[in-house]
């Protein structure tokens, strides 16, 4: 049985939470937005929980946020590992500079992280440049 979108009247597959044509929510008062924000809260940990939890792993929007959260947190962690390795093997004057740069990068990424949670909470599928495409490739 198809679900008719209240906004644009196009037919959607059964169980769909968002209209495939206009992205309007098909179920009123859905708990999915806080869950989408939760996907970012603990990085890949909370994202992995959502991707393995029925019925939430059936929701395309939630899956998008979970995958983007994984891409973002893995990228964040990877950046820190690379920088820390660099810092460990560079002379003191340079490592101080790198440590400073790492602090700024982490601060900027924390702002992006909060922004992603806010976007998820408002129901916006904000796509991070580059990372979102990588997130899509994480699994169909
Ligand atoms: Zn629609």
Domains of the chain, by residue range, sit at 1-28, 31-136
Say how many Å lie between the CA of residue 13 and the centre of ligand 1: 12
End-to-end CA separation in angstroms for the chain: 24
99/104 Cα distance (integer angstroms): 9
pLDDT of residue 139: 67
Q: How far is the CA of 93 from the centre of ligand 1 (A)?
A: 58
| pTM score of the predicted model | 0.74
pLDDT tens column, 69-104: 999 999 999 999 999 999 999 998 899 999 999 999
State the distance from the centre of ligand 1 to the C-alpha of 15, rounded, in angstroms: 14
In DSSP terms, 124 is beta-bridged to none
Q: Pick the more confident residue, 140 or 105.
A: 105
Confidence band for 7, pLDDT divided at 50, 70 and 90: confident
Among left, alpha and beta (phi > 0; psi -120 to 50; other), residue 54 is beta
CA of 61 to the centre of ligand 1 (A): 15
Q: Which residues pair with 25 in a beta bridge?
A: 18
CA distances from 19 to 26, 61, 118 (A): 6, 11, 21
Q: Could you tell me if 22 and 10 are in contact, meaning their C-beta atoms sit under 8 angstroms apart? A: yes
Mean pLDDT of 120-128: 91
Give 5 Cα–ligand 1 centroid separation in angstroms. 5
Q: Is the pLDDT of residue 1 over 80?
A: no
- What number is the average pLDDT over the span 107-113? 97
Q: What is the mean pLDDT of residues 11-33?
A: 81
From the CA of 78, how far away is ligand 1's center (Å)? 39
Whether residue 140 is predicted with pLDDT greater than 60 in this model: the reply is: no
């Amino acid at each position: 049985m198809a679900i008719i979108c209240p906004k644009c009247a196009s037919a959607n597959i059964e169980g769909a939470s968002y209209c495939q044509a206009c992205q309007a929510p098909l179920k009123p008062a859905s708990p999915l937005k806080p869950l989408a924000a939760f996907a970012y809260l603990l990085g890949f940990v909370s994202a992995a929980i959502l991707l393995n939890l029925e019925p939430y792993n059936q929701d395309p929007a939630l899956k998008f946020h979970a995958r983007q959260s994984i891409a973002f947190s893995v990228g964040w962690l990877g950046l820190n590992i690379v920088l820390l390795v660099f810092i460990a093997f560079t002379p003191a004057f340079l490592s101080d500079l790198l440590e400073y740069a790492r602090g700024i990068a982490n601060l900027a990424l924390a702002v992006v992280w909060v922004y992603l949670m806010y976007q998820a909470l408002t129901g916006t599928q904000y796509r991070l440049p580059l990372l979102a495409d990588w997130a899509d490739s994480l699994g169909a």
